[in-house]
Amino acid sequence: MYGTGVTWATVRFATGNGGQRRLEQRAIHPRGMRIALPATREVYVSRLQVEHLYKVFGPRPEEAVQRLEAGADKDELRAGGETAAVIDASFEVAEGEIFVVMGLSGSGKSTLLRTLNGLLPPTAGAVHYDGRDLTELDAPELRHVRAHGISMVFQHFALFPHRTVVDNAAYGLEVQGVPKPEREERATEALRLTGLEGWENSWPDELSGGMQQRVGLARALATDADVLLMDEAFSALDPLIRREMQEQLLELQRTLRKTIVFITHDPHEAVRLGDRIAVMRDGRIVQNGTVEDLLLRPADDYVASFMADVDRSAVLEGHHDEAEVTARA
Ligand SMILES: Nc1ncnc2c1ncn2[C@@H]1O[C@H](COP(=O)(O)OP(=O)(O)OP(=O)(O)O)[C@@H](O)[C@H]1O
Ligand SMILES: [Mg+2]
């Protein structure tokens, strides 16, 4: 792609600006010598693209989409027995960013997330992963994407009770057919990253709820998936543990640079984690922007009321500091 013998390595990154990355270009000489090139440039690498996506549950979903396109609203469809869970959603997720989807219960967050790895086929519209339309992949190709590309972490992570912690963390690799010594090594490393070093040979019922969630995260990290879909992954945890998990995710993200779509209904969690936040209401994305956009330029009263009890001075200042630190790093 970049010409033989030349590879570009990413060495810098700036968050909080819609996934704009600052790349320093380095040429790798055929004999292994690294030569830094003078040029730097801003690039945007998009990992997921969602285009006019609809998901309707009910007896006549395609017809319901046509009615929505013609201006019908969700309530009119409901009268006919159709549930419009996601309506005309379009957005992109950039490589290395945490993209948060926030909204009240029933607004369509989980449905949207499940279309991103092909678990749910969209009624209309498309999801592109690395430029490929997921709806055009056959079942084995989709399984491959889910095993190697896009991993999911759920709210209540179901661990296998009769497997040790390390075997639970290695489960995704086992499904991939990775040999035992390698999967144990990778799962052990993932457990270390999530703060569970020393617990490898324990049983799930010896772990607290927070630790079990960490095993869920470790399972996703142990696979080489570079996109993580996290559905209310911390919502069942008590506030202190939840805060710890958020900090750990940010810490991991500084080195691992995964592409993360993180679902939450909590605005505090959203502003703490999100490079960008999409706000959903009744199936629609009503605003997609940075924390600053949402706080300073809310699209409507719904977004404003969501953000109402976020401490804006602390958040805006905090974000600014973090952006500066990242830019200097
Ligand atoms: N398999 C399904 N069949 C029918 N309706 C569904 C199905 N899955 C979701 N829905 C409906 O779609 C709408 C959106 O649900 P979804 O689970 O995506 O919301 P959510 O924002 O994740 O909510 P929560 O915060 O409670 O998890 C709801 O009205 C829900 O009842
Ligand atoms: Mg949900």
Residues 277-310, buried b or exposed e (16+ Cβ, 10 A)?
A: bbbbbbbbbbbbbbbbbbbeebbeebbeebbeeb
Other Cβ atoms closer than 10 A to 258? 19
- Domain membership of residue 287 (yes or no) is yes
Tokens read off for 243 = 């805060």
Q: Is residue 65 part of a domain?
A: no
Q: State the CATH number of the domain containing residue 216.
A: 3.40.50.300
Buried b (16+ CB within 10 A) or exposed e, 121-153: ebbbbbbbbeeeebeeeeeeebeebbbebbbbb
Residue 241 to residue 38: CA distance in whole angstroms = 45
d(CA 69, CA 17): 32
pLDDT digit string (tens) for the chain, length 329 residues: 333 333 333 333 333 344 444 443 444 444 444 444 444 445 678 899 999 999 999 999 999 999 999 999 888 899 889 999 999 999 999 999 999 999 999 999 999 999 999 999 999 999 999 889 998 999 999 988 988 899 998 877 789 999 999 999 999 999 889 999 999 999 999 999 999 999 999 999 999 988 998 999 999 999 989 999 999 999 988 888 899 999 999 999 998 999 999 999 999 999 999 999 999 999 999 999 999 999 999 999 999 999 998 988 877 765 544 444 444 43
Q: How far is it, in rounded angstroms, from Cα 111 to Cα 132?
A: 20
pLDDT of residue 18: 40
DSSP structural state of residue 154? -
**Among 248, 276, 244, 247, CA closest to 260:** 276
Say yes or no: 28 and 144 in one domain.
no
Provide the CA 7 distance to its chain's centre, in angstroms.
27
Q: In whole angstroms, give the CA distance from residue 57 to residue 71.
A: 18
Residue 155 near ligand 1, beta carbon < 6 Å: no
**Residues 101 and 14 reside in one and the same domain:** no
117 Cβ inside 6 Å of ligand 1: no
| 323 and 176 assigned to the same domain | yes
Report how far apart the first and last C-alpha atoms of the chain are (Å, whole number). Answer: 28
* Longest Cα separation, the chain: 69
**CA 216 – ligand 2 centroid, Å:** 17
The residue whose CB lies within 8 Å of the most ligand 1 atoms, and thus the one to mutate among 110, 154, 306, is 110
Q: Is the same domain home to 152 and 280?
A: yes
Q: What is the pLDDT of residue 326?
A: 43
Q: Which domain holds residue 200?
A: 97-120+138-328
Q: Looking at the domain assignment, is residue 156 inside a domain?
A: yes
Please choose, from the candidates 59, 54, 90, the residue with its C-alpha nearest in 3D space to the C-alpha of residue 72: 54
pTM for this entry: 0.84
150-153 and 227-231 beta bridge pairing: parallel
- Return the best residue to mutate from 83, 113, 114, 265 for the ligand 1 pocket (most ligand atoms within 8 A of CB): 83
Task: Verify that 15 and 111 share a domain, yes or no.
Answer: no
Does residue 301 form part of some domain? Answer: yes
Ligand 1 within 6 A of CB of 75: no
Cα(111) to ligand 2 centroid in Å equals 7
Q: Which atom of ligand 1 lies at the shortest distance from residue 108's CA?
A: 18
Tokens of 262: 């993180």
Domain boundary among 28, 44, 60: 44
Phi, then psi, of 36 in degrees rounded to 5: -75, 130
pLDDT at position 318, please?
56
The verdict on 39 and 114 lying in the same domain is no
